Amino acid sequence: MMSWWNRLKRKDDTHKPDEQPAGSQEGVVGRSASRRSQVDLSDPAVRERRRQRLERRVKDLTFDIERSEAALADENRWSERVAEIDRAIDQARKDTQTIVSAPADNVGVTLAPNPVTIEHVYPGRTAEVHADVGEELAPGDPADIRFLVGDVPFRYAEEIDWSERGHTRTETQLHRVEGDINRLIPGKAPEERRDELREHLAHSLSTFAEHLQENAFANKPQPHMTLGNLAQPCPECGGWKDWKGRCPACQRRQWEAQNIESEIERLMDERNHQMEEARRWRERLPILRRQLDEARKDLARYEGE
């Protein structure tokens, strides 16, 4: 889908800003009056250096005029680059539309309203212990979250990496240590979408366990939940929303679309730069021609001395 970017990227190096010859300049910087008075113009070496400067001036102006005249042509390096950018922008916009549009016939299957029964919530990492069911554990023990989805048990716990001095090496995080998600997937779910639903349920169950932990820390009541709440069909993308009504697939699509939009903005900036650069070269042409005429006269006059 991003082939337009790969093709465009390969051509970036061939369209760098214009590089003029090392000696290109708007005018020859002259020496001060006191220095010129000390220069022996009859010295062959001095005359040769001056002649070379005048010839370089003519050569540089000729190069610039060729570039300016090229900018006047209907097809030139700038118009070609703009055409490439326009094609890339057009493809990027098509990609964005593809990303945000969901197939109308690909809506996720609805799950049964099997109740979620909270059996035990010990949040861990606190001096106070709050548990709905079960024995109290010593403060500082890892979190332990247990609940049933229908008749399928799930357990989430913290895995703490202890240092030699008794401190945690890394921040603790809940991990699923028990629970078969496959048992939650209905038989009517299409085979080609079972992996997608399994991944969604894993994410939704994990965020639900974290919410139970946060509520226990804050002494808030725990929510009433069903399996259907954990995976609600999303009409926007055809996937599933989590128990908070958020659709990870839609969020991912929006993120991808935003990235492409940012790239489109960058391409538009480059397009404007190319057009502005061509305009400047066209406007410089009369000035460059006048400067070249003067430089040639200076060279002819000097060689005739």
- Residues comprising the chain, all counted: 305
In 3D, which of 39, 256, 53, 230 has the Cα closest to residue 149? Answer: 230
pLDDT (0 to 100) of residue 18: 53
pLDDT tens across 251-299, in order?
Answer: 888 899 999 999 999 999 999 999 999 999 999 999 999 999 999 998 9
pLDDT (0 to 100) of residue 23: 43
Tokens of 143: 């979190």
In 3D, which of 206, 200, 207 has the Cα closest to residue 249? Answer: 200
Are 254 and 68 a contacting pair, CB within 8 Å? Answer: no
Are 257 and 263 a contacting pair, CB within 8 Å? Answer: no
Please give the single-letter amino acid code of residue 76.
N
pLDDT (0 to 100) of residue 253: 87
Q: Which of 68-72, 99-103, 205-209, 251-255 has the lowest mean pLDDT?
A: 99-103
User: pTM of the full predicted structure?
Assistant: 0.58
Q: Which tops the pLDDT comparison, 132 or 279?
A: 279
Q: What is the DSSP string of 120-150?
A: EEE--SSSS---SSS----TTPPPEEEEEET
In 3D, which of 197, 195, 159 has the Cα closest to residue 177? Answer: 159
Tell me what percent of the residues of the chain surpass a pLDDT of 70. 75
Are 197 and 182 a contacting pair, CB within 8 Å? Answer: no
Phi, psi for 163 (deg, rounded to 5): -85, 175
pLDDT tens across 6-29, in order?
Answer: 555 555 555 555 545 444 444 444
**Most confident residue range from 35-44, 125-134, 143-152, 295-304:** 143-152
Confidence class of residue 99 from pLDDT cuts 50, 70 and 90?
A: confident
In 3D, which of 99, 105, 137 has the Cα closest to residue 121? Answer: 137
Confidence class of residue 237 from pLDDT cuts 50, 70 and 90?
A: confident
Confidence class of residue 91 from pLDDT cuts 50, 70 and 90?
A: very high
Confidence class of residue 102 from pLDDT cuts 50, 70 and 90?
A: low
Phi, psi for 22 (deg, rounded to 5): -55, -30
pLDDT (0 to 100) of residue 94: 93
CA distance 156 to 161: 16
CA distance 54 to 61: 11
pLDDT (0 to 100) of residue 168: 47
* pLDDT exceeds 70 at position 200: yes
Confidence class of residue 171 from pLDDT cuts 50, 70 and 90?
A: low
Among the residues of the chain, which ranges form H helices?
Answer: 3-10, 33-38, 44-72, 77-100, 194-217, 227-230, 248-304
Confidence class of residue 105 from pLDDT cuts 50, 70 and 90?
A: low
